[in-house]
Structure 1
Amino acid sequence: MATIRDVARLAGVSVATVSRVINQKDSVNSETAGQVLKAIEQLQYEPNAVARGLAGKKMGIIALILPDILNPFFPALARGVEDVAHKKGLTVILGNSDDLGLKESSYIKVLKKKYVDGFIIASNTIREEDVESLKREGIPVVLLDRGLNTATCPVIRSNNREGAKLALHHLMEQGCQRIAHIYGPQEFFTARERLLGYEEVVGELEGYSPSLMVSGNFDIESGRKAVEQLLARHPDVDGIFAGNDLMAVGALKALHERGIRVPEEVKVCGFDGIGLTEITEPELTTVAQPIYEMGGLAARILLDEIERGIRENTIIELDVTLIPRKSTQKEET
């Protein structure tokens, strides 16, 4: 394997000159730089990434920390980040925090030592002081989907409250009069916003009751169990808005197990727009977030900060889209 000394020897220059060419310093004239690049190509020399990063203060690596890679929402988010980073020649390191603050802090601590250029974090446990600590060290950070309610750094998410309202108005237009909500963990900003959207639309309707709301855990099994609770309390429920698509899939499963027809007897709508909604039976109506675009935007903002320096903080909320499918299809008369 060729070394930097081999390159210097073949090009007839010093090791320091080779280093300056590799790190794109302006102090090397074009003729000498050409000799060095020709020697690098001839010897198939690969510069040491750590040494190059320390010299240039950039490693070409960004860290992406997600809460649950098993949830189909997050791989789609990660793909948006990775595609943008790859086009810019950067590598993405992925960490799965399991929504555990200690595990997340451990990832941040270790990855800082690996000289990553910046962090994209989807987190419910990130603290404002954690973000400020990274910024003091000159490490840009972008919060994605979940995170702080205040903008201590760039925050990219969708308009969760308005998305919930879209779902509720759609169910009402389809004839639903007693609509229940399976809400996600309330320590999650996204889940709180969707619950608030539900309450703003349904709270004033005749027959509304807080017992129409049941907690879930953003997974299929909790959606199934929530429906069992709902039907025990309110057997006349004719519409269900689930706080994410996985809980909506669980709701479909529970209704099928009880012989309750969807959408004839109960209509079901989810939230997220993951691919799984297209293969359920019936196909699931959902409020689709621009998942891939959110990831890509977070990556572009982070890369811009890496290049230009940490700038003004902002919260960007992207629009969502209702995708009506058979799970809420109105009965034909």
Structure 2
Amino acid sequence: MKKINHITLADVCKAAGVSLNTAAKVLAGQAKKARISEKTAKKVKKVAQSLDYVPNQMARSLRAKKTSIIGIFVADMIDPIYAAITHSILEELPKHNLFPLLTVAEAGYEMCRQTWLRNRIDGLIFCGTTPEMTPQAYSNLEKNNIRIVIAGNYYLPSGQSAFLPQVSLVHIDNHAGMQLIINHLIELKKQKIAFITGPKSHSDAKDRLQAYEYIIREHQNPIIADLQTDERFWQRGYLAIKQLFEQEVKCDGIIAYDDLVAIGAIKFLHQNGINIPNDIAVVGFDNLPQAEYSTPPITSLEQPAQAIGQRSVELLVKHLAQENKIEHVHMIPALIPRESTSTSHSQIAHKNEY
């Protein structure tokens, strides 16, 4: 069998004509901090690339007592917002010389937990959480020196609507978003605005319902379409509006928990000869691609998924540097008006920076 020649850091040093320490600093992304000239850094990188040098991550981890591996947990692989946040995190981690370890709820929490511990991850970003993620579970992870950030929606235990994980969070500002939506519908002279709730186990569903109830009382009594179940997506919107109509509740505006719920509501309205937006205007959350290509295109609140992912990584990096103060960061969304509220709207009307 032919012997494989592994290129070492010493080989790179010799070829580049620099010291071992200089090469190590450059390839660890610390050239600027170590005051190594840009010319030397470029030379070392070019030589390493030409030799096809790959750092021994295990040896580096043993020396530094850190792995630079960050676990990413995705609570639901078919949820488009979790997917968008995860994509943003995967783009952001390499900028900080951190390596992703992707784990998914479908594999089971215990398998994921064992994978995190076996790979000695330094930090963990949850893109959503599941029932297994109790305060005790977070505490056990932190006892293993794993820093934690939750990105986006998190799981609410049954009967605990006030539950708030004692870890750092980065998520959409649902109150600010609901204010944008209601202001938009009031400007369009809508007077009976209903809200279709989301699954009770979703923190976003709780926040949006509370925001709706608080803000809408300035204009009318709340009109709430609630299935009292965790039915999701199109079915939830269709059945919730069907229930509202069977109860003979009148409305001229509908705010749906998310865009997929809005699409289900629109299907029911179409089937019953309701004109959108003249009879009833419809607004969703998240600004998914489906919203733009629905009939009619749906006015939606854009979920700042990329910004949530970026900010989550920035926050985790702070925790890895031993800045352990828990932070709850709210990202301000933007309203994207389309034909489901007014045929004259086709461009962004409201946008806020975070």
* Structure 1 and Structure 2 fold alike (TM over 0.5): yes
Aligned twin of 2:194: 180
**How far did residue 37 of structure 1 move?**
9.4
Q: What secondary structure is seen at the aligned counterpart in 2 of 1:283? A: coil
Query: How far apart are the structure 2 equivalents of 1:10 and 1:82?
Result: 29
Find 2:154's aligned residue among 147, 155, 177.
147
1:106 is aligned to: 111
- Conserved? CA contact 2:195–2:223, under 8 Å: no
Scaled by the length of structure 1, what TM-score is found? 0.80
Equivalenced residue count is 315
- CA displacement at 1:60 relative to structure 2: 3.2
Q: 1:295 Cα shift? A: 0.7
Alignment of 1:221-240 (within 5 A): 221-234=235-248, 236-240=250-254
- C-alpha change, 1:310 and 1:103, in structure 2 (3 Å) is farther
| Gap change, CA 1:19 and 1:53, over 3 Å in 2 | farther
Residue by residue, what CA displacement relative to the aligned partner does 1:231-280 show, whole Å, maximum 9, x if unpaired? Answer: 22236322111111111122122222333221121110111222322221
Offset of residue 62 of structure 1: 1.4
Q: Secondary structure at the match of 2:108?
A: helix
In structure 2, the CA distance between the partners of 1:238 and 1:18, relative to structure 1 (3 Å rule), is same
User: CA offset at residue 182 of structure 1?
Assistant: 1.2
Mapping for residues 57-96 of structure 1, pairs under 5 Å: 57-96=65-104
Taking structure 2 as the reference length, the TM-score comes to 0.76
Q: Is the 8 A contact 1:77 1:291 kept in 2?
A: yes
Q: Quick one: which of 123, 133, 136 aligns to 2:129?
A: 123
The 1:310/1:85 distance shift into structure 2, 3 A limit, reads same
One-letter amino acid of the structure 2 residue matched with residue 95 of structure 1? T
Quote the residue 2:348 is aligned against. Answer: none
Q: Distance in 2 between matches of 1:108 and 1:20?
A: 38
2:268 is matched with which residue: 221, 235, 254?
Answer: 254
What root-mean-square deviation, in Å, do the aligned CA atoms of Structure 1 and Structure 2 show?
3.5
In terms of mean alpha carbon deviation, does 289-298 or 67-76 score higher?
Answer: 67-76
- The equivalences for 1:163-174 within 5 A come to 163-174=177-188
Q: 1:281 to 1:97 in 2, by over 3 A?
A: same
Match of 2:5 in 1: 2
1:138 maps to 2:145 = yes
Q: Which runs of 5+ in 2 are unaligned?
A: 31-35, 156-162, 346-354
Q: What is the distance in 1 between the residues matched to 2:154 and 2:292?
A: 29
Q: Is the 8 A contact 1:175 1:330 kept in 2?
A: no
Q: Aligned partners of 1:21 and 1:171: how far apart in 2?
A: 61
The one-character-per-residue Cα deviations of 1:121-167 (angstroms, maximum 9, x if unpaired) are: 02153222222222222211101112385462221112112322332
Aligned match of 1:54: 62
CA deviation vs aligned residue, 1:175-203 (integer Å, no higher than 9, x gap): 22222211111222211010111212335
Q: Check 1:21–1:116 CA distance in 2 against 1; reply closer, same or farther (3 A cut).
A: farther
Q: Which amino acid aligns with 1:89?
A: N
For CA contacts below 8 A with separation 6 or more, give which structure has more relative contact order: 1
Residues 328 and 124 (structure 1), Cα distance of their counterparts in 2 relative to 1, 3 Å cut: farther
Which residue of 241, 244, 248 maps to 2:258?
244
Q: Distance in 1 between matches of 2:272 and 2:46?
A: 72
Aligned residue number for residue 328 of structure 2 = 315
Q: Shift in Å at residue 305 of structure 1?
A: 2.4
Residues 244 and 272, structure 1, Cα contact 8 Å, conserved in 2: yes
Distance 1:198 1:104, change over 3 A: same
Q: Equivalents in 2 of 1:228, 1:62: separation in Å?
A: 45
1:175 aligned counterpart, secondary structure: coil
* Of 183-192 and 222-231, the range deviating more from structure 2: 222-231
Q: Shift of the alpha carbon at 1:281?
A: 1.6
Structure 2 CA distance for aligned equivalents of residues 223 and 163 of structure 1 = 19
Give the conservation status (yes or no) of the 8 Å contact 2:282–2:340.
yes
The separation in 2 between residues aligned to 1:326 and 1:260, in whole angstroms, is 15
Say if 1:218 and 1:247, in contact at 8 Å, map to a contact too: yes
1:197-235 alpha-carbon deviations (Å, 9 max, x no partner)? 12123357556555x444564412222222222222236
Letter in 1 for 2:206: R
C-alpha deviation, 1:294, in angstroms: 0.7
1:80 and 1:292 in contact (8 A); partners too: yes
8 Å Cα contact 1:286-1:322 kept in structure 2 = yes
Distance 1:257 1:96, change over 3 A: farther
Sort the Cα spacing of 1:128 and 1:40 in 2 relative to 1 into closer, same or farther, 3 A. Answer: same
Between the aligned partners of 2:298 and 2:272, the Cα distance in structure 1 is: 18
1:10: Cα distance to partner? 10
Q: Residues 162 and 316 from structure 1, CA distance in 2 versus in 1: closer, same or farther, beyond 3 angstroms?
A: same
